[in-house]
Structure 1
Amino acid sequence: MKQSQKLLESYFPIASFIAAIIGPQCEVVVHDISDPERSIIFIENGHISGRRVGDASTDLVLKILKAEAYREEQFIANYKASGGRGQTFRSATYFIKNDSGELVGLMCLNIDITHMEVAADWINSILQGGSLTPPAALGAPKEEKPSTEYLQGNVDDLLQHMIQTVLGRISIPVDRLSSSEKIEVVKELNEQGVFLLKGGVSEVAAALSISEPTVYRYLQKLK
Structure 2
Amino acid sequence: MENENRRFLEKYFPVASFIAAIIGPKCEVVVHDISDPEHSIIFIENGYISGRKVGDASTDLVLKILKSEAYHEEQFIANYKASGKFGQSFRSSTYFIKNDSNELVGLLCLNIDVTHMEVAAEWVQHILQGGPNPYITPPADEAPKEEKQATEYLQGNADDLLQHMILSVVGKITIPPDRLSPQEKIEIVRELNELGVFLLKGGVSQVAVALSISEPTVYRYLQKLK
Q: 1:174, 1:118 → 2: CA distance?
A: 39
Q: 1:212, 1:177 → 2: CA distance?
A: 17
Q: 2:3, 2:177 → 1: CA distance?
A: 46
- Give the RMSD, CA atoms, in angstroms: 1.6
Q: Which runs of 5+ in 1 are unaligned?
A: 132-144
The question of 1:203 aligning with 2:215 is answered: no
Deviation, structure 1 residue 176: 2.1
Q: 2:4, 2:213 → 1: CA distance?
A: 42
The residue aligned with 2:184 is 181
Q: Alpha-carbon deviations, 1:143-193, whole Å to 9, x = none? A: xx9971110011111101000001123333323211100000000101111
- What letter matches 1:17 in structure 2? F
The residue aligned with 1:128 is 129
SS where residue 184 of structure 2 aligns?
helix
The question of 1:218 aligning with 2:209 is answered: no
The question of 1:154 aligning with 2:141 is answered: no
Q: 2:59, 2:178 → 1: CA distance?
A: 28
Q: 2:42, 2:85 → 1: CA distance?
A: 20
Query: What is the number of residues matched between the two proteins?
Result: 210
Q: How does 1:7-86 map onto structure 2 within 5 Å?
A: 7-86=8-87
- What letter matches 1:151 in structure 2? L
Q: 2:162, 2:30 → 1: CA distance?
A: 20
The residue aligned with 2:5 is 4
Q: 1:115, 1:172 → 2: CA distance?
A: 38
SS where residue 38 of structure 2 aligns?
helix
The percent of aligned pairs where both chains have the same amino acid is 79
The residue aligned with 1:92 is 93
Q: Alpha-carbon deviations, 1:42-70, whole Å to 9, x = none? A: 00000000000000000000011111111
1:163 to 162, 166, 171: 166
SS where residue 76 of structure 1 aligns?
strand
SS where residue 159 of structure 1 aligns?
helix
Q: Alpha-carbon deviations, 1:78-119, whole Å to 9, x = none? A: 100000011110000000001111000000000000111111
The residue aligned with 2:136 is none
